[in-house]
Chain A
Amino acid sequence: MLQMSVNSSSNPTPPGAVERTLAQLPIGEAGVLDRLELPEEVARRLMELGFLPGHTIVPARRAPGGGPRVYRVDGSEVALRRETASHLILRPSKGHGKASGR
């Protein structure tokens, strides 16, 4: 029961599609979260804020001076550092239909 979808994505990456992390997503482009490769505690905190597998996330803006980025997720805006965002893996943009299980 406790083993949530932190690492439990069942969608294999379609061949040819390159996996991207949230940190690599350009500002203004939407991405669908696949999994959170983070310790459970951290992953839960992020999931409570809406970073859930299957949810769409849009990087809204970068903090001045290259600090954390603000992400639009689930009707609100949450700032994450790059090092955190790089552990949030997106679903490949190709093979979209196959990936949207939920």
Chain B
Amino acid sequence: MSDCHGCAGCAVAEAPSPSSRSARTHVVAIIGPPNSGKSTLFNRLTGLRQKVANFPGVTVEQRVGKAKMHGKTAPGKTGTQHTEVVLIDLPGVYSLNPRSEDEQVTRDVLAGAMPGIPKPDAVLLILDCTNLGRHLVLAAPILSLKLPTLVILNMADDLKSRGGHVDTAELANQLGSPVALISASKGIGIDKVFQFMEGTSAGTTSLAPARVELPVLQDIPRCRQWAHQVGSGAAYHAPAPPLWTRRLDSIFLHPILGPVIFLLVVAGVFQTIFTGAKPIMDKVQELIQTSGQGIEHLLPPSIFRSLLVDGIWSGVGTVIVFLPQILLLFLFIGILEDSGYLARAALIADRTMAKFGLQGKSFIPLISAYACAVPAIMATRTIENKRDRLATILIAPFMTCSARLPVYTLIIAGFIVDRPLLGHFFGAQAAALLGLYVLGFVAAVLTARLLKSSILKSERVPFVLEMPPYRWPTLRSLGLRLVDRSKVFLRRAGTVILLVIVVLWVLENLPVKNGQPPEIGDSFAGMIGHAVEPVIKPLGFNWKIGIGLVSSIAAREVIVGTLGTIYHKEGESELVGLRQALRSDLSPGGAIALLVFFAFAMQCMSTIAVVRRETGGWKWPVMQFAYMTFLAYLCALITNEVVRSGVFT
């Protein structure tokens, strides 16, 4: 389909000279409305060869990847064939009317007006062909740009199975651009996309004039009429409604079953993260310990060995242990999002969210914040209303991110006896964890309420939420997401956390006395810990926890590594676990207060950095940090007092 039209287009060739094109990389932009399968196609084309950044100067996320050409060189153009094409994934938009930042960015990139981003040489326009009447509207502004464009009709499998039809050759004829019918999730027809990119990179594809006149772009009803005409011209027959989606919705959005399933899903996710990941985590722990001992045996005793084994190995190890848990959480979020259930969850949540002045759309970023506040804050870009968005950014760090889990699991496992509460499915430890999640959530919604009734007061914006059809999540997309998350996590473990651990090790081993490292209490780290002790003593924390708190400002999970180093340093037997060490050193009040402190405090440099970037200045992140730290201190103080006074014993 696409190639036959490509040849027809050669007659009116106006192709740039091959020599000028080969001088730089070939850039192809992917554009499409939300829910058109744009990201799936992007992942399909680039695989792991992609990275995420921001478009310069704005808060819109930019995904850039590389697609390897299959090497089928176009005849006669051997010298100019690119082996790689740079793909830019543009934000999902319905039109190019520059109303939102997303639309402005899309427009600028396509016009070559985005600094630092080369003007695309070609465009992949991806549309959902089960809803062509609506999606084809975007073709008008894109085709009027006169860039070589491949019109990709995605979800071909759905169209077919639901009895729809479209004549792609005729559609190509009308639009003057090649058309490819594909299924990005199943990988059907991807070769046509590669063929198109090979053609444009070799300069053999050229523009044909559209047979149909393009509509006046500002006038939506006219655009719709135009799309309808083009569709009927191409014998487009819309598919039958997605029956399975309707059947599933009558369960998932059932007045009683719906909320019950919603709660079960949330509870099931937490139980699995906590208990399901445990055997894997134990294995990883064992591996780190034995390998650490192995290294210790290999090297002669020296200060270097101490840094490597006691500092770096055990420190980074204590953090890496939590990778299985974090991956499990991202797996769940991925399944919920890709299957379409997350939109239903947003719908169910909207009424509750509205009570706090937020909306159902805030629910998706906030639920992502359970994994990590950084991607969550980025995900707030889908919220059109600026004040709602800011409110969501400001409360997102209250949600229990996965970096808190290491601290929570350590303290809970050490201080809370695991009594069965609801049979084997739900124990006291899981309940405590769930309680901490609830605590963070409550702090978030109360803060949202406070914000929306004071500094962020705004009129309620319309809540508009598309309900995508249910789909089976693909292993490929889930896998890519997990790989991406592990990279982010390990990079953090490998850089920020590693750096903090090394600095800390230095602080713990200086000043040197008589050629020997000092006792931990006499070291620089100990001095810092002792210095902050008067401030944190009312919370039930000693100076060792103080060192941990100071180090955790880099990232929450660092405290686990720090405490591991500190207690190891004190000459505890290696078999005596950190838990036991803490149990003998921390009162129950202090332990619970520490949990509460971590539930509220904004101990994360990455989050501070991303809030600064997303809000465009230091004002909001500074206020946020001060507010959260104050709240953490206050609530930890109250907790310690309450537990100490024995109200609950």
Contact = CB atoms under 8 A, between A and B. Distances in A.
A63 B462 contact: no
A7 interface: no
A95 interface: no
B348 A83 contact: no
A48 interface: yes
A77 B241 CA distance: 10
A80 B463 contact: yes
B253 A64 contact: yes
Nearest to A84: B462
Interface of A: 1-2, 4-5, 38, 41-42, 44-50, 52-54, 60-68, 70, 72, 74-81, 83-84, 102
B160 interface: no
A80 B259 CA distance: 19
B224 A63 contact: no
B466 interface: yes
Contacts of A60: 246, 249
A5 B258 contact: no
A4 B219 contact: yes
A49 B218 CA distance: 15
8 contacts: A45-B384, A45-B464, A46-B462, A61-B249, A67-B360, A68-B350, A68-B463, A76-B134
B463 A64 contact: no
A75 B462 contact: no
B271 interface: no
Interface in B535-591: none
Contact of B465 (A44, A61, A64, A79): A79
Interface residues of B, number: 42
Contacts of A52: 220-221, 224
Contacts of B642: none
A37 to B, nearest CB: 12
B255 interface: yes
Given A4-B221, A44-B97, A65-B351, A77 B466 contact: yes
A78 B467 contact: yes
A53 B225 CA distance: 12
Given A42-B462, A76-B134, 17 more contacts: A1-B218, A45-B464, A48-B137, A49-B94, A49-B134, A63-B348, A65-B348, A68-B347, A68-B360, A68-B465, A70-B467, A75-B133, A79-B347, A79-B464, A79-B466, A81-B350, A102-B221
Given A42-B462, A44-B99, A48-B95, A74 B347 contact: no
Nearest to B262: A64
B99 A70 contact: no
Nearest to B220: A47
